[in-house]
Amino acid sequence: MLKRISCPLVIVFTLLLTFALQASALDRQSMEDLIHSKEVKQIEEAIERLESHLESQPNDGEALWVVAKAYLYLGDRLETNQLEIFEKGKSYADAAVEHLPTSPHPYFWQASLAGRIGQTRGILSSLFMVRPMKDALEQAIELDAGYADAYWVLSQLYHQAPGFPVSIGSKKLALQHAETSVTLDPTNLEYLLQLAVALEYNGRKEEAIAILDDLLANPALEKHPELKLDVEQHYLDFTK
């Protein structure tokens, strides 16, 4: 009789445990959807939910890098307290690297937030951040050779940093990494814009303008007003 009772009890306990684990698990996709809305209130909602999750599971590397990403998106859309926001985001990214060292995502957001911190503090701090950014992005690529975002940001880094002996700036590497990102994802509008920028940087202005022409004619650009403004500004600059 006892054996007959124990089996259902085990099943019930197992089901309860499963439901508890599911309830506490991170719904990463819904968090990223909120972040990608680029709306401050929705990004803040994602942060609130992620930080609530991390209160009970502080070592969840996935949640740590997603909330780091959220802080970057938030800082980009506010005009005050940006440095504080980016620094908080980077602290989460640093923790994500510690708890999820075999994933490329923590390294990518660690690098991206370091870049934002450097830009916010000023030119000298930006230069100080270049090497750590480069190392983190290269680590992301080492973990995932197809991590297109890392090539895209590396292209920007090689384009914007001063050249030798001050820093690592390189026309050749800016173009090389831009081309790699587009090869990995040929329809990504941001990658295509960066490829145009890198081509112009290398003296290939006609090719750069051709890419911008294609971007401006692409209906998908209408869904990204911030990017559209950026493309239009580069077009004006390149065709002066």
Give the span between the Cα atoms of 237 and 240, in whole angstroms: 6
pLDDT at 3 over 70: no
Residue 30's closest CA among 54, 15, 49?
49
In this prediction, residues 81-108 reach a mean pLDDT of 97
Condensed to tens digits (0 to 9), the pLDDT of residues 196-230 reads 999 999 999 999 999 999 999 999 999 999 999 99
| Residue-wise pLDDT tens digits, 118-137 | 989 886 667 888 999 999 99
Residue 175 falls inside a structural domain: no
The Cα 207–Cα 203 span in angstroms is 9
Which residues, 6 or more positions from 62, have their beta carbon under 8 angstroms from its beta carbon?
26, 28, 100, 103
Q: Which amino acid is at 216?
A: L
Contact 182, 151 (CB under 8 A): no
Asked whether residue 239 is assigned to any structural domain, the reply reads no
Domain of 139: which CATH number?
A: 1.25.40.10
Does residue 108 lie within any of the structural domains?
A: yes
Structure tokens at 209: 């303008």
User: In terms of Cα–Cα distance, which of 240, 232, 235 is closest to 210?
Assistant: 235
- Whether the CB-CB separation of 238 and 216 falls below 8 Å is answered with no
Full-prediction pTM beyond 0.95?
no
Which among 72, 63, 137, 144 is positioned nearest to 102, based on CA atoms?
A: 144
The pLDDT of residue 21 is 39
Q: Flag whether 202 is in a domain.
A: no
Residue 170 has pLDDT above 80, yes or no: yes
pLDDT at 6: 46
User: What is the average pLDDT across 75-84?
Assistant: 95
Domain tally for the chain? Answer: 1
Q: Which residues pair with 163 in a beta bridge?
A: 169
Q: Would 189 be classed as within a structural domain?
A: no
**pLDDT score for 164:** 87
Q: Where in the sequence is the domain holding 130, given as residue range(s)? A: 33-145
**pLDDT at position 156, please?**
96
Distance CA 93, CA 71 (A): 10
Tell me what the pLDDT averaged over the chain comes to.
90
SS3 category, 66? helix
Looking at the predicted structure, is the pLDDT value of residue 150 above 90?
Answer: yes
Separation between Cα atoms, residue 162 and residue 130, nearest integer Å? 10
For residue 118, is it within any domain?
A: yes
The reply to whether 6 falls in a domain is no
Q: What is the pLDDT of residue 17?
A: 44
- Residue 72: inside a domain, yes or no? yes
- Over range 140-159, report the average pLDDT: 97
Q: Report pLDDT digits (tens) over 5-41.
A: 445 555 544 444 444 434 345 788 899 999 999 999 9
